[in-house]
Structure formats: structure tokens, C-alpha cells
Amino acid sequence: MKKEQVKKLGIVVGVMMVSLCLIFLASPQHLWAAGKVTLKCGYGVGVKHSVHEMSLRISKRAAELSNGTLNIECYPAAQLGTEEQLIEQMQLKSVEMMPDLSHAKFASILPWWGFGSLPFLFASLDEYGKVWNTPLGGEMEKRLLAKGFRRLGWMQYGIRSVLCVKPVKSMADLKGVKIRVMANPDLIKAWKLVGASPVPMAWAEVYSALQAKVIDAMESPPSSVYYAAKAHEVAKNYTMTRHQITAATVVIAEWAWKKLTPVQQRALITAVNEGTTWQREYNNTENVEAIKLMKQAGVKIYEIDRKPFRDAVLPVHNDFTNRIGWKSLLKEIKAVTD
């Protein structure tokens, strides 16, 4: 081979090598190997929701604490799919994080996880948070991890109470009341046990159904009643049953967690702790403000004795215990909260 041909061949090989290096450097696999990581974080709520703001705060703080090596991309408004689809995508290794894994939806994979949706189990969100700081909380985290999901923290939507067209001052006042509920068998049975007539219905239909007297009541945290549903305009009695918490869990897929460096793991934990603390405080303030605004709008607020309700729904708790394969779970929770 002539000298000039050898030279040209060398140039061609050199160009090919540079191209291959550039492709490798741009690949996600190289970014993992180099310690630069991008995590996709998906959720269903829109950009005006506190969960979105919380996620942005977590993303910003994680980047700061990891010296720019940890990038969390936030995808609100179900851009990456519904909650069920996101759970599946985390298992299929196409999505790394969720900031709001719910108890109701994930119970289809891990039945005992539905404890967080049971009526009259917790009197406050503080009680729920307290459980996670006990050996029981550690055991629940281990069982969640066995399914491939690492718990990083928790956030909240509030605690649900009853808005009704008539005053509800005792359990007897709920007899025959048609109340909108989520399509959850445990909740439907619970409302029947306290004397009401539960009506599963889409959230978007609540206002018009109350207005048309198709239903007499709905149940939701104060902020959702006032800001989201605006149901206080058509029903003027809000009874503080505090019957169900609405909390969710910030999770990362374990396969993604294992690829993070120790610095990145610490950065993510700190960022989530700060972000969820902000979100819970924000949500508490929003719910207090919603009660104040409802009062100004003419809504009567009633406190109520919760014990008769708790006693009435015990069959629901017993059914739950019998089907989840963890006989002591609710007993252990009550030992922490009572």
C-alpha cells in the first residue's frame, strides 16, 4: 500500500474513532458510568399543584447538592402516563421516580399498602407520619423495597371530611344521605355501615350532581372542596369527620437508586426531605385557609364525635386484615397512634 493511501486510511479510521467516542459520550449508559444521571419523575397533577412545585424544588436542590451530577426531569399532567402506567414503567425501567405513589392505586400490587386509604384508621396526618418513624415503618419500607420501590418520603393532600346540603352533627344524621365516594369497595362498605348511601361518581360530576340534588353530600379535604370542586357554592354544611387521610409516597425505582453514587443518594434524600416538608406545610396552610374562606362564604362547620364511626367501620378493617396476609399490621398501627 502506498504511503499516501496509508495516510488517508489513518484519517478515515481516526474520524470513525472520534465518532464512536462522541456517540458513547452522549449515551445514557455513559452518563450513568460517568456519575452524571438524569431521572425522569412523572405524576398526574398539573403545573399549578403543590406536588409539581415540590418536584421542582426537589430537582433544583438535588442538582445543587450533587454538584450538578444529578438531574431530575419533572413531567406533570400525566405526560408520561397515568399513575398505573407510571408504576408499570418504573418496573420496566423507563421511568425512575414518582412523587405521589398513592395507597389506593398501588394496593393492586401490594395489598397491604392499602392501609393508607382505610377510613377512620388515622385521626390526623401527623399520626400517619409518626408510623414511618417506628420499627413498623422500617418493616413497611423493606416490604415495599422487595417490590422494587424505595421510599424516600411522603407528601399529603389533606384529610377528608363531609360536605352536605344538610347539617350532619352525628352519625344518625347520615342515614340515607346520598354521598359521592371513590369507587373503592372498602370505602363503599364503610359508608353503608355508618348509614349513608354511597354513590361512586367521577370527580368532575360532583358540582352539578349536588346542584341537581342527584347526591346530598361529598367528602374531600377542605382545599379540594373550596378550590378544586367549588362545592361550597351548592352545599353549606361541612362536618369534620376527618375520616380518611390522603397521603402519598415519594419513590424511586430500586434499579435506579443502585446506579447513584453515595453523594447523589445523599443529595436526593436531603432534597426530598426538604421538598416534602415544604409541601406538607403548604398543604396544611391551604386547608386552614379553605376552612376560613368557606366560613366567609356561609358554610357552617361542625365538629363531631368520631368514636361511633370508628366502631361502625371495624368490619372494614377486619376484612382488610383478612385479605392482606399481614395479620398484625393494623394492630401495630393502632398501637403507635392510640
Listed by start position, the domains of the chain span: 1-34, 35-337
In the predicted model, what is the mean pLDDT of residues 320-329? 97
Query: Taking 90 as the threshold, does the pLDDT of residue 9 lie above it?
Result: no
Q: Which is it for strands 237-253 and 149-164: parallel, antiparallel or unpaired?
A: antiparallel
> Which residues touch 134 (CB under 8 Å, ≥6 apart)?
336
Q: What is the pTM of this model?
A: 0.87
| 20-34, 83-97, 116-130, 233-247: least confident range | 20-34
- 134 burial via Cβ count (<10 Å: 0-12, 13-18, 19+): middle
Q: Which of 28, 50, 48, 30 is nearest to 39 (CA)?
A: 28
Residue 287, number of CB atoms within 10 A of its CB? 23
Share of the chain above pLDDT 90, in %: 89
- pLDDT at residue 325 greater than cutoff 60: yes
Residue 172 CA to residue 84 CA, distance in Å, equals 38
Residue with cell 443529595: 267
Check residue 81 and report its DSSP letter. Answer: -
Q: How many CB atoms lie within 10 A of CB 35?
A: 15
- pLDDT confidence of residue 192: 98
Question: How confident is the model at residue 35, as a pLDDT?
Answer: 73
In this prediction, residue 71 carries a pLDDT of 98
Segments in the chain forming alpha helices (H): 3-26, 28-33, 50-65, 83-91, 103-106, 125-131, 135-145, 185-193, 206-211, 222-223, 254-257, 262-296, 307-312, 314-324, 329-337
- Residue 4's pLDDT band (cuts 50, 70, 90): low
Domain 35-337 has CATH 2.60.40.4070: no
Does pLDDT of 144 surpass 80?
yes
Task: Show the cell assigned to 1.
Answer: 500500500
Return the C-alpha cell found at 34: 460517568
Q: At what angle do helices 185-193 and 314-324 cross, to 10 degrees?
A: 150
Position 258 scores a pLDDT of: 97
Residues 234-248: what's their mean pLDDT?
97
